[in-house]
Amino acid sequence: MFGINFDPWIDASPLPVPRADTHSDETPCSPITPRWFGPPVEGEACSFTGLERATFQTKLLGAFGGSVVKVSLIQKGAHRGKHLVFAPSVHEMFTWLSAHPGKIPEFKPDFRGARLANIPRRWIRAPKNQETCSFTSLGHYSFYSLLEEAGSAIQTAQLRLPDESRASRLVWLPSIHDYLVRKAEKQYAE
């Protein structure tokens, strides 16, 4: 039972680094820590890119956003949504830009590489109030909204003793990633 989710090819093999001068569906996802992140809070810079919020939104999500794996999440009753980008796809685009200064990439996002990314096979705890998820950068409310939207597509487990009214919710990390990639691919196709 302990080895049921272990795939030695995925879990033990390093991913090759893509070449900066090419990009195709055959290019595997880069070895950057696979995680999702959103725009930084107003007045702060993104920890991954160093971009401030306005530049992040207008350039990374706007003009250059057609080449990265990104997803928009809109919560029930909200007018605006949260946007997340997949770190390895941003790295691939920046690598391409370093070899092609002053150009805007015209390649489509590498959804195949995102699906094959080496996501850690582990359970994570849903973020508490005033905390964010280290994998998705979503806060407590947004994270639970995502779980509600996804339903059984994201695998969860609740730890609750019989006399407890609240449970500790654990989430299978690869299932969050799979859901976000499928949603991003569907949004790209629309």
Provide the number of structural domains found in the chain.
1
State the burial class of residue 133 (Cβ atoms within 10 Å of its Cβ: 0-12, 13-18, 19+).
buried
Whether residue 136 is contained in a domain is answered as yes
CB distance 85 to 69 below 8 Å = yes
Pairing of strands 70-73, 82-86: antiparallel
Please report whether residue 2 resides in a domain.
no
Q: How far apart are CA 20 and CA 94, in angstroms?
A: 9
Q: How far apart are the first and last CA of the chain?
A: 41
Residues of the chain with pLDDT under 70: 1-31, 78
**Domain contains 69:** yes
Q: What is the pLDDT of residue 41?
A: 87
Q: Is residue 22 part of a domain?
A: no
Whether residue 71 lies inside any domain: the answer is yes
d(C-alpha 24, C-alpha 26), whole Å = 5
Given this model, what pLDDT does residue 36 score?
Answer: 95
Relative orientation angle of helices 173-189 and 140-150, to the nearest 10 degrees: 70
Helix (H) or strand (E) holding 83: strand 82-86
Q: How high is the pLDDT of residue 31?
A: 59
Could you list the residue range(s) of the whole structural domain that residue 67 is in? 34-189
Q: Is residue 122 part of a domain?
A: yes
